[in-house]
Amino acid sequence: MLSKSKFILGQQCVKSFWFDVNNIKPTNPADDGTKERLSAGNEVGNISKDYFPGGKEVPYLPGEETKMFEITKKYLDEGITSIYEASFVYDDIFVRVDLMNKTEKGWNIYEVKSSTSIRSYHEYDASIQWHVLKELNLIKLNGVFIATLNNDYSKNNKIDPIKFFNIKPVTEIAEEYESEIKKKIRELKEVSKSPKEPLLEIGPHCKKPHGCVYLDKCWPDNIDNINSVFSLYRMNLKKKLNLYNQGIDTFDKIKDKESLSSTQKNQLRAYEEKSPIINTEKIQSFINKVEYPISYFDFETFTDAVPIHDKQRSHMQMPFQYSLHIQNDINEKLNLNDNHYQFIADHEEDPRESIAKSMLKNFPKEGSIMAYNQSFEKRCIESLAEHCPDTAMSEELRALNERFVDLIEPFRGGGYYDSKFKGSFSIKKVLPAICPNNKELDYKELEISNGGMAMSSYKKLRGLPTDSENIKITRDALFEYCRLDTFAMYAIYENLLETIKRNS
Ligand code: SF4
């Protein structure tokens, strides 16, 4: 049976659809971010029921589509006017409608999304449901709508479902898409019966709207090499594919070098010369901005699709942890635990006030605050300042933002390029290239090794009994991870100072 999610998969790529219906094991299974999005979808789905309270829900019975359809029909016969997860089968296509509500003009059906804006595949989601219900001709229909999250709404005590969602009618779009949907359904049914894997080139569809779980089956093995055209800095995927499809898969095959950006030219040069490209003037101009004491600083944040704290908005970045290493002067050498301050808020409470107070207590009153990609940290500080009821505290927080310097600047600005960066200036790429073979600086040695993992580990603590051992284990792992982020900045900055010394 063709479900709505399989239809959307087939809409993105018939080959991944074929792999999926033939139960081929994914080579690139869903990551933490995808799992987080799925759980956000469930939370939002639960809140959406309050939009039409008092309705009845059709339970999910895996593999029993017909039974779910029977239950839906029973509810309709009983005169229920709001149904959650109403399930329908038509022509071997199965859909579950998030919300349905009967009005004087007929039934309205709603596709509920956990994002704050409508993406084009959401319209296909809504359209296939509209198609199935129209063809079934079981009930009088009025309209189809997409509900997304209103990111201007902040929670105040209880979530108000009317203000929490933005509702957009998409009936006209669903009508417009109807013939396309019918055609696609026919095509997918053929594909699912075929014993042969469909032939299809790789393309932007492999990454959007969702990252394909079969990338390693179709993409070339050498895309992760330091000389792969796929590592060219900020070149859009279409252009990279264009080169690849002409047989230009490595740097040495690129003929039109002049049209490349200066960073891309540096990438080619660093590879050819087998040595980093260093521009001491650019590095020095960054160093000139830095004032001691240096506060190496990093936040970890969480987001919730459904806010749990008052004055929290959907998907708002909520800082819950920071790490701060302080280097008092140029001659001071730090170890991992030297001059180190750290904080993790209680996972059951709104973290904003406690983290702000701790930061203001521990930051030196002067000197540079160094972050890696500062806009994130500065935005978080601004949101803490907005949240603070105390004006003096807000001013103190905003004053911190005046002292930031961004350690990514000398790299992104062309001061330093190493082939091992592979076209990325993220700290996870820069650190091992600049400070290799140092176990103390190896993220792979850690239990939690990226921001996504930090967020999901922290959120998993919610609701655990206070004496749970997991709380201590997770907090320790979080401390270790964030501490490495700021110590890594110190190590990278020291390396830049050394680089200047060596090259002057
Ligand atoms: S990697 Fe691309 S072409 Fe291959 S199955 Fe996935 S989306 Fe389709």
- Ligand 1 centroid to Cα of residue 16, in Å, is 6
Q: How far is the CA of 46 from the centre of ligand 1 (A)?
A: 33
* pLDDT(484) > 90: yes
Pocket probe mutation, ligand 1, options 22, 200, 210, 223, max atoms within 8 Å of Cβ: 200
Find the residues whose C-beta lies inside 6 A of ligand 1: 13, 15-16, 200, 202, 205-206, 212, 214-215, 218
Structure confidence at residue 419 (pLDDT): 97
- What was the pLDDT predicted at 389? 85
| pLDDT, position 38 | 79
Owner of token pair 């700290």:
427
Supply the DSSP string of 148-216, one letter for each residue. EE-TT-B-BSB--HHHHEEEEE-HHHHHHHHHHHHHHHHHHHHHHH-SSPPP----GGGTSSS--TTHH
The DSSP line for 71-111 is: HHHHHHHTT-SEEEEEEEEETTEEEEEEEEEEETTEEEEEE
CA of 405 relative to ligand 1 center, distance in Å: 41
Where residue 113 falls (left for φ over 0; alpha for ψ -120 to 50; beta otherwise) is beta
User: What is d(CA 250, CA 222) in angstroms, rounded to the nearest whole number?
Assistant: 9
| Residue bearing the CA closest to ligand 1, atom 4 | 218
Tokens describing residue 497? 């100072």
423 Rama sector, left if φ>0, alpha if ψ -120 to 50, beta otherwise: left
Tell me what the mean pLDDT of segment 442-460 comes to.
92
Mean pLDDT of 306-323: 97
88, pLDDT greater than 80: yes
Averaged pLDDT, 12-24: 96
Q: Where are the alpha helices (DSSP H) in 352-468?
A: 352-362, 374-387, 391-401, 409-412, 427-434, 451-459
- Cβ contacts of residue 328 below 8 Å, gap of 6+? 292, 293, 339
Residue 443 tokens, joined: 């993220």
pLDDT band at 437 (very low <50, low <70, confident <90, very high): confident
**pLDDT surpasses 80 at 242:** yes
pLDDT confidence of residue 504: 78
Task: For residues 18-22, give the mean pLDDT.
Answer: 96
Summarised one tens digit per residue, pLDDT across range 266-307 is 999 999 999 999 999 999 999 999 999 999 999 999 999 999
Task: Report which protein residue has its CA nearest ligand 1's atom 3.
Answer: 202
Instruction: Report the atom number in ligand 1 closest to the C-alpha of 218.
Output: 4
The pLDDT score that the predictor gives to residue 236 is: 92
> Which tens digit of pLDDT belongs to each residue from 180-238?
999 999 999 999 999 999 999 999 999 988 899 999 999 999 999 999 999 999 999 99
- Phi/psi of residue 408, nearest 5 degrees: -75, -20
Q: What is the DSSP letter of 22?
A: T
Q: Which atom of ligand 1 is nearest to the CA of 200?
A: 3
Ligand 1 center to 214 CA (angstroms): 6
Residue 444 confidence (pLDDT) = 85
Q: Which atom of ligand 1 is nearest to the CA of 215?
A: 1
User: How far away, in angstroms, is 277 Cα from ligand 1 center?
Assistant: 36
How much is the pTM?
0.92
Amino acid at 260: L
pLDDT band at 424 (very low <50, low <70, confident <90, very high): very high
Return the pLDDT at 198.
Answer: 96
* CA gap 483, 322 in Å, rounded: 8
- Express as a percent the part of the chain with pLDDT over 90: 93
Q: What are the Cα distances from residue 133, in Å, to 90, 95, 175, 199?
A: 8, 9, 12, 33
Cβ atoms within 10 Å of 208's Cβ, excluding its own: 14
Ligand 1 centroid from CA 11, angstroms: 12
Nearest of 207, 209, 208, 188 to residue 15 by alpha carbon: 188
What's the chain's length in residues? 504
d(CA 132, CA 129): 5
- Name the band, by pLDDT with cuts 50, 70 and 90, for residue 39: confident
Out of 121, 191, 206, give the residue to mutate to test ligand 1, the one with the largest number of ligand atoms within 8 Å of its CB: 206
Give the Cβ contact number of residue 116 at 10 Å: 15
How many Cα atoms occupy the beta-carbon half-sphere of 458 within 13 Å?
Answer: 27
User: Is-cis flag, bond preceding 209, omega within 30?
Assistant: yes
Which pLDDT band holds residue 445 (cuts at 50, 70, 90)? confident
- What is the mean pLDDT of the segment spanning 144-153? 97
Question: Which residue is closest in CA terms to ligand 1's atom 1?
Answer: 215
Can you read off the two tokens belonging to residue 356?
């702000």
Task: Work out the number of other CB atoms within 10 angstroms of the CB of residue 329.
Answer: 9
CA–CA dist 157, 171 (Å, integer): 34
pLDDT single digits (tens) 362-372: 999 999 999 99
Across 25-34, 124-133, 423-432, least confident range: 25-34
Pair 349, 330: CB distance under 8 Å:
no
pLDDT value, residue 439: 86
- Model confidence band, residue 503 (pLDDT cutoffs 50, 70, 90): confident
Ligand 1 centroid–CA 340 distance in Å is: 46
Model confidence over 338-350: pLDDT tens digits?
Answer: 999 999 999 999 9
Give the CA distances from residue 41 to residues 37, 44, 67, 117, 392, in Å, rounded to whole numbers and listed in that order.
6, 5, 24, 14, 39
